[in-house]
Copies of this chain bind each other. A is one copy, B any other.
Amino acid sequence: MDAAYHPTPRTTPTRHRERARYDRDTVHAILDEALICHLGYLSAGEPVVLPTTHARLGETLYLHGSSGSGPVQAAGAAPAGLPVCVTVTLLDGLVLARAALHHSMNFRSVVVRGAARVVGDPAERSRALNRLLDHVAPGRSADCRAPDARELAATGVLAVDLAEVSAKVRTGGPVDDPEDQSLPHWAGVVPLSLAAGEPRAAADLDPGIPLPDYLGRTRAPYSRYR
């Protein structure tokens, strides 16, 4: 397998092409760190964007939802799969430049174009649902009550192949025009990151059950902020 995705006209940005990344390591790292994605699809011919959770397994991105939800229904009705765009964005900082229009954000984003298929195979469904849990808290799928037949029937799993994929990354400080650099305005970066607070046990939790290790230091944001 190539180390990078092949750019297509649809995954080549119209500007700031120097920010585009196609290597799988970069793309995978962004998809794996982000806790949510934004799923775009067409409903009655118009665009809809919904936040949802995702998880990557190799070169497949999985999403899930109620079997009655818009995207699951639409994908089920699309024999060749539902055209989707799944976008993930990690916000890393505000970039304040001296010039109004040079303000920017530091970010890492991934855009996945493709067709979402409804996963029917029970083994693949099970792997995907476990991965969705472990994406958020590595190990959690082995430490909870597995879905029963009724719950599985009420849940739709969607899969999108990671084929037409690009990342975009901006890092570093503001880039002002040379003639603006002596202006009397503060310029720099305000770092931003998602931070996890102290876990709060459910009110009815048996106090003898300890906080699991997988909410400790194994995954961003927990690993970075506790």
Judging by beta carbons under 8 Å apart, are A103 and B209 in contact?
no
Complex Cα distance, B145 from A188, in Å, reads 15
Q: Is A57 an interface residue (CB 8 A)?
A: no
Copies of the chain in the assembly: 2
Q: How far is the CA of A38 from the CA of B99 in the complex (A)?
A: 25
Tell whether A144 pairs with B100 under 8 Å between CB atoms, given A192-B194, A199-B188, A201-B186. yes
Contact B192 A196 (CB under 8 A): yes
Give chain B residues whose Cβ lies under 8 Å from the Cβ of A182: 206
Q: Is the interface of A mostly helix, strand, loop or mixed?
A: mixed
Q: Which residue of B lies closest to A129 (CB)?
A: B100
Contact-residue bracket for chain A: 35 or more
A38 to B111, CA, bound (A): 11
CB proximity of A73 to chain B, nearest CB, Å: 8
B residues within 8 A CB of A136? Answer: 94, 103
Given A46-B113, A66-B14, are A188 and B173 also a contact pair (CB < 8 Å)?
no
Q: Which of B10, B186, B201 has a CB less than 8 Å from the CB of A209?
A: B186
CA distance A194 to B193 in the complex (A): 6
A185-B145, A194-B192 known; A41-B36 Cβ under 8 A:
no
Within 8 A of B (CB), among A94-118: 94, 96-101, 103, 105, 107, 109, 111, 113
Given A48-B111, A96-B137, A181-B204: 16 more A-B contacts, CB < 8 Å: A15-B68, A35-B91, A35-B192, A38-B49, A41-B47, A51-B89, A53-B105, A97-B144, A184-B209, A186-B212, A186-B215, A187-B201, A189-B202, A192-B221, A194-B194, A195-B225
